[in-house]
Amino acid sequence: MGRITMFAMRFFALSCLVGSLVILLTSSHFTSCERFLYSDYQVNDIKFTQLSLYTYMLVSIGVGIAYNLFQTALSLSIGVSLLDLFGDMVISNILVSGAAASYGFTLELGRTNDLQPSSFFNKIYISAGLSLVATPFTLISLISAHAALRFPAQPRE
């Protein structure tokens, strides 16, 4: 049961991360605003890659997707290993830090600049939320890997 749960949780985490990546990549336009983080500079169209915190979120989502694909292939070939345990711990921390940082930054950015909520902010919130939802799936996969290592499957007679 541990391996089936692990695969299901990896699939759900992977689908949340892919959705988060797609939403983040489509949030490349900011409605017209003036003096946005830059003094005496008129900005009409901002891409999310111009802000390093959103780039960090993009990288953390990409690392999460690559890790889930790698671990799925590795689990199919050699089974559950210690790499599952420690990798899931590290990836869950990366996903939480990327989602929380971008969510907090977007919230404070809207407050300090008195900007009206726009589709850019909404897409960033949804992307951060999906990245955050992928974290419990990764943690459940971690628990399943621990159970699979601790209680190996008994051969049937």
Residue 46 lies in a domain: no
Number of residues that make up the chain? 157
pLDDT the model gives residue 56: 87
pLDDT at residue 115 in the model: 63
Residue 61 lies in a domain: yes
The answer to whether residue 138 sits within a structural domain is yes
User: Structurally, how many domains does the chain consist of?
Assistant: 1
156 is a domain residue: no
pTM for the whole structure = 0.76
At residue 32, φ and ψ (nearest 5 deg) are -55, 125
The dihedrals phi and psi of 145, each to the nearest 5 degrees, come to -65, -40
Domain membership flag for residue 43: no
Residue 132 in any domain: the answer is yes
The verdict on residue 41 lying in a domain is: no
User: Which is it for the CA torsion 44, 50, 55, 57, positive or negative?
Assistant: negative
- Establish if 122 belongs to a structural domain: yes
Task: List, in sequence order, the alpha helices (H) in the chain.
Answer: 2-26, 52-78, 82-112, 119-150
**pLDDT one-digit tens code per residue, 73-127:** 887 777 667 777 788 888 889 989 988 888 888 777 777 766 666 677 788 888 8
Q: Residue 133: pLDDT above 50?
A: yes
pLDDT digit string, tens, across residues 40-64: 444 444 555 556 788 888 899 999 9
Q: Provide the domain limits for residue 125.
A: 2-26+53-150
